[in-house]
């Protein structure tokens, strides 16, 4: 069964360092989402791509966060510099077309700890 892949699964970094996360959506899924999930809370959308274009990045802290999906397939989320408050689970999800557009498939996430 096709799944959303994410790496790394865990990342520990010191504050002020740069960190990057990678996501490979389900093959054929045009829409890709990055979420941040703080411990004890539900996921919050950071950025959404439709193919290679950003559709919504209104909640992305653009002074330190960036995201790209250059070829409309896999995507990278970067934080530079990392801050203590960035410690969280970063989830990637993808969705297809038609009825499947409203059904998001999630990856296992990257758990980031900033020390």
The only residue of 2, 8, 28, 41 in contact with other proteins, by rule CB under 8 A: 41
Q: x-or-dash pattern for other proteins, window 57-76, by CB under 8 A?
A: --------------------
The one segment of 15-23, 48-56, 64-72, 74-82 that binds other proteins by CB under 8 A: 48-56
Q: Is residue 96 a contact residue for other proteins (CB under 8 A)?
A: no
Q: Where are the beta strands (DSSP E) in the chain?
A: 5-7, 10-13, 19-24, 31-37, 44-50, 53-56, 65-68, 75-79, 88-95, 105-106, 110-114
CB of 52 to other proteins, least distance (A): 16
What CA–CA distances, in Å, run from 87 to 26, 46, 54, 112? Answer: 26, 14, 24, 5
The only residue of 27, 71, 98, 103 in contact with other proteins, by rule CB under 8 A: 103
User: Is residue 27 classed exposed, middle or buried when 0-12, 13-18 and 19+ CB atoms within 10 A define those classes?
Assistant: exposed
Q: Which is nearer to other proteins, 61 or 108 (CB)?
A: 108
Chain residues binding other proteins by CB under 8 A are 3-4, 33, 40-45, 48, 55-56, 91, 93, 102-109
């Amino acid at each position: 069964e096709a799944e959303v892949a994410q790496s790394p699964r865990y990342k520990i970094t010191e504050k002020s360092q740069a960190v990057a996360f990678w996501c490979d959506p389900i093959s054929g899924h045009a829409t890709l989402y990055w979420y941040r999930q703080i411990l004890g809370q539900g996921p919050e959308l950071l950025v959404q791509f439709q193919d290679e274009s950003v559709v919504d990045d209104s909640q992305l802290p653009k002074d330190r966060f960036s995201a790209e999906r250059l070829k409309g397939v896999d995507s990278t989320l970067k934080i530079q510099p990392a801050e203590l408050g960035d410690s969280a689970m970063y989830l990637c999800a993808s969705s297809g077309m038609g009825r499947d557009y409203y059904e998001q498939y999630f990856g296992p996430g990257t758990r980031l700890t900033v020390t």
